[in-house]
Amino acid sequence: ERNEKWERVINLMNSSNPSDWRLAIMEADIMLEELLRTLGLHGDSVGEMLKSADRNEFSSLDDAWDAHKVRNAIAHSGQGFDLSERETKRVLALFEKVFKEFGVIQ
């Protein structure tokens, strides 16, 4: 089944515009936040929810942290964050692992 939010992220990733790459990561992180809330994790932020996650029930937890840290760097530096196409694809592959683990995407 298609996930339109994820398809939008992929379309942004495939753009030639670096501001779209930043947006792709920001939007993937919003999807991560929605997933963590669905899982019933506690916290006001993605970071707090990840801290409360159980490694035994979240095998891609390190991937989620890695991806979220890049999102934070982008959020805090904006246009000043130098994001390459290669790094964008690496980070979105991390989000993809998390989303596949929990069935958000196929």
pLDDT in tens, the chain (106 residues): 789 999 999 999 999 999 999 999 999 999 999 999 999 999 999 999 999 999 999 999 999 999 999 999 999 986 788 899 999 999 999 999 999 999 999 9
Tokens (6 digits) for 4: 């339109």
Q: How would you classify residue 49: left for phi > 0, otherwise alpha for psi between -120 and 50, otherwise beta? A: alpha
pTM of this structure: 0.95
Q: How far is CA 106 from CA 21, 43, 91, 99, 103, in A?
A: 22, 27, 18, 8, 6
